[in-house]
Structure 1
Amino acid sequence: MHTNDYKAIKAAVITVSDTRTEETDKGGRTVISHLEESKIEIAHYSIVKDDYEAIQAVVQPLLKQVDVIITTGGTGVAQRDVTIEAVRPLVDKEMEGFGEIFRYLSYTEDVGTRAILSRAFCGTYAKTVIFSIPGSVGAVNLAMKKLITQEVFHIVHELNK
């Protein structure tokens, strides 16, 4: 199937950061750019603090409103990085392969052994897929070009069977 064979997709983009503003959010803008290039509608964009409850408060209502949620930032190992902890309890099924392949690609194409620090994550809830990716522009480009835009239409199709 080609992208044109799938239904239109609505997406939410959430940047997790204590310091970024709409003007300085290069990672979030890069996600949006890739989605727009793939003809995916941006139904929501926001910046949320690195805070468990704040992240859940934004993500949870979107699970019934959009087909795909992409969070960027807060996926490292620092104490303040809680995106994965906030998102994981909201999913029904985890797609471990996303994080595994993301780290492999990061290792071979970009950051070498520092790839083990990435906790990129993907899971589904009902008919929505959630991707949580690092916030750097390099990581966003890698995840969007090599993984998310390549598979998101098929994933959403499968979730709607």
Structure 2
Amino acid sequence: MTTAAASVGRALIVSVTDDQVHGDGDHGAGALVTELLVEAGFVVDGSVTVPSEALDIRSALNTGVIGGVDLIVTVGGTGVRPRDVTPDVTDEVVDRSLPGIAEALRWSGMAAGVTDAVVSRGRVGVSGSTVIANIAGSRPAIRDGLATLVPLAVHAIEQLSDPLP
């Protein structure tokens, strides 16, 4: 477990890749997301790598939700290839969608010159009191995505933690 001095919440990273089958893992994506979330003040409970299979992704997401993390960041599987099922599984798990945040992630990527960003099918939503966000797996997408996601996710987490009805 990685700790931060002033925690804004607990996080779980789920790297989705078929490369783990061949022993290549997530190519450091989980470590990069962990580093950036810790810098932002999150306590990262863990980073798991799962194959691009709906059952495995769903299980990892549900583990984080049941475990009470505030934020789950999935990395990878957001494109248009047949095995890119992360957004579809996320749709099944979330209770409420946060389409504005998903669009902000796409457009910040586009503004940074990553034209592939608008092809991402990544979703953001809430399951229980957990924010779940899909980001693409490239290092530039991770850096840009988290720069955009973190303040928006923190705001959503604060709202979910508000005791007022």
Q: TM-score, normalised by structure 2?
A: 0.86
SS at match of 2:155: helix
Change (3 A) 1:94 1:24: closer
Find the counterpart in structure 1 of residue 3 from structure 2: none
Instruction: Decide whether the 8 Å contact of 1:64 with 1:128 is kept in 2.
Output: no
Matched residue, 1:17: 17
Q: Give the ranges of 4+ consecutive aligned residues of structure 1 lying more than 3 Å apart after TM superposition.
A: 20-24
> What do you get for the CA RMSD once the two structures are aligned?
1.8
Query: What corresponds to 2:125 in structure 1?
Result: 123
The alignment-based identity, stated in percent, is 27
* Structure 2 partner of 1:73: 76
1:153 shift after superposition: 2.1
**Cα deviation, residue 152, structure 1:** 2.3
**Partner in structure 2 of residue 55 of structure 1:** 57
The aligned length equals 154
Unaligned runs of 5+ in 2: 1-5
**Residue 149 of structure 1 pairs with residue 147 of structure 2:** no
Higher relative contact order (CA 8 A, sep 6+): 1
1:25, distance to aligned residue in structure 2 (A)? 2.6
Match status 1:89 vs 2:92: yes
Normalising by structure 1, what TM-score?
A: 0.88
Q: Show CA shifts across 1:19-40 (max 9, x none).
A: 0458653222111111110121
